[in-house]
Amino acid sequence: MSFLIFSQTFVNALLLSLIYVLVAMGLTLILSIMSMINFAHGELYMFGGFGVYVILQRFGYNYWLGVLVGVLIAVLAGVLLERTVFRPLRKELLPASFAALGVGMILQTVALMIFGPLDKDVPTVFPGVINISGVFIPMEKLVIVLGSLAVIGAIIVFVNYFRAGQALQAVAQDSEAAALMGININRINALGFGIGCGLAAVAGGLIAPLYYVSPYMGMSPLLKAFNVIIIGGLGSIPGAVLGSFLLGFIDQFSLTYLGYVGNIVGFLLILLFLLFRPRGLLGREIQMH
């Protein structure tokens, strides 16, 4: 019995962690390259959600097409934003971050004006539940997990085996040095920012059927993503993965075994991290201008 609870919680934690990874990845990528906190991440996450909503719910086309559309729009928006807003603010943490906050506000209100404040439902795309001797795994969560794993894999491959990816890494480590190596910083930044935004949209698109779609859907995932990257280490992609798992498990288990008091546990953990190991698990101090 109690073992059943444990194993169910364990599975839930696993699923939740991978959802966190999906959201945190883009945030940390952008942080590592532009050394800014992308407060607009939640709104780009929303792009994915609305992509699915419009394509699937309004026009009744294929779900994946919806995700794709959402992602493409997000990437475009990302590149555009980098060019117009963030490029001149590169390596200026606070200005860039607050400009991002402003961008987020704008995007949110625009979405509000287009779609209205009511929560939109997205039909279950992958119905059904897998039952392994009393431990339940919803189908659609499984899909998300696979998606999330795919994304992690793709990022790892891209960063390590593609020229652009390696350039990305170089810029993240030391943009000056990278520039000396003849890397076009501007292009790489645009690329990185675009990918980051795309990742946010992927997350939104995959998670949309699980919950619902609304202009405010990005808020709580963003907060979680913050906590994840604080724990994992700012600007470190492996850190983001590690942090997601740590936080995912802590959230699930504390809530399951402590009840609503568990809400505060995660935050206390984060505070402890910030006070005693501010770099997080795998973080390094971010280079400033």
Partner 1 sequence: MRKWSRLVGYVVLIGLLLIVPQFVRDPRWMHLVIMTGLYIILAGGLRLIMSTGQVSFAHAAFWGIGAYTSTLLVMRLGVSFWIALPLSGLVGAIVASLIGYPCLRLKGPYFFLVTMVVGEILRLFLTNSVDFFGGDAGISSIPSPNRIRIGNWAIAFPYRSVNYYYLMLVGLFVSLFVYYRLERSRFGMICSGVRADGSLSESLGVNVMKYKLTAFVVGSLLASLVGSFFAHYTTFISPGFFTFNESTIMLIMVVIGGLESTTGAIIGVILITVLTELTREFSKYEIIVYGAALVLVFRFAPGGIFDLYRKFISRLRSHRASVA
Partner 2 sequence: MKTTKGFIGVMFILALAILLIAPSVELALAQESQILKIGGFNPRSGPAASWGLNTDRAIDLGADEWNKKGGVTIQGKKYKIEMIHEDDKARAEEAVKAVNKLIYTDKVKFIAGPMMSSPFLASAPIIEATKTITFVGCMAPAVLKDRKYIFRITVPWNHAAPAFFKYVTKIRPNLKTSVHISSNDATGWSSTQADNDSCVAVGIKVLGSEFYDAGTQDFTSMLARILPLKPDFLSFAGTPPNITALVIKQARELGYKGQFIHSSNCSPDVVGPIAGWENIEGMLLGTFTINGEKVPATVKKIHNDWIAKYGQENAGGFGDGIVQYPLIDILSRGVEKANSLDPDKIVTALENLGTMDTVFGKARWGGMETYNNNHQLLIPIWVSQVQNKKLVLLSLEEPWDVPPPEQKWR
Contact positions vs partner 1 (CB under 8 A): 31, 35, 37, 85, 88-89, 93-99, 101-106, 108-110, 112, 223, 226-227, 230, 234, 260-261, 263-264, 267-268, 270-271, 274-276, 278, 285-286, 288
Write the Ramachandran bin of 121: left for phi over 0, alpha for psi from -120 to 50, otherwise beta.
Answer: beta
Residue 136 interface partner, choices partner 2, partner 1, none, CB cut-off 5-8 Å depending on type: partner 2
Q: Which of 211, 238, 265, 279 touches partner 2 by CB under 8 A?
A: 211
- Which residue, among 212, 65, 64, has the nearest Cα to 147 in the 3D structure? 64
Nearest residue (CB) to partner 2, 88 versus 117:
117
Q: Quick check: 43 binds partner 2 (CB under 8 A)?
A: no
For residue 241, give the nearest of 9, 3, 14, 20 by alpha carbon. 20
Round to whole Å and give the CA distance between 212 and 265. Answer: 27
Termini Cα distance of the chain: 56
Task: Please state the φ and ψ torsions of residue 220, each to the nearest 5 degrees.
Answer: -70, -40
What does the alpha-carbon distance between residue 4 and residue 2 come to, in Å, rounded to a whole number? Answer: 5
Q: Which of 93, 179, 216, 265 binds partner 2 (CB under 8 A)?
A: 216
110: tokens are 């625009």
Answer with the entry of partner 1, partner 2, none that 133 interacts with (C-beta below 5 to 8 A by kind).
none
Q: Which two tokens stand for residue 129?
A: 């539940």
User: x/- binding map, residues 113-132, to partner 2, per CB under 8 A?
Assistant: ---xxxx-x-xx----x-x-
Collapsed DSSP state (helix, strand, coil) of residue 263: helix
Q: Structure tokens of 165? A: 């990816």
Residues 242-261 close enough to bind partner 2 by CB under 8 A: 251-253, 255-256, 259-260
Give the containing element (helix H, strand E) for 135: strand 135-138
Nearer to partner 2, 89 or 201 (CB): 201
The CB-of-265 to partner 2 minimum distance in angstroms stands at 11
Shortest Cβ 288–partner 1 spacing (Å): 6
d(CA 271, CA 277): 10
Note the residues at the interface with partner 2 (CB under 8 A): 1, 4-5, 8-9, 12, 15-16, 19, 116-119, 121, 123-124, 129, 131, 134, 136, 138, 210-212, 214, 216, 219-220, 223, 251-253, 255-256, 259-260, 262-263
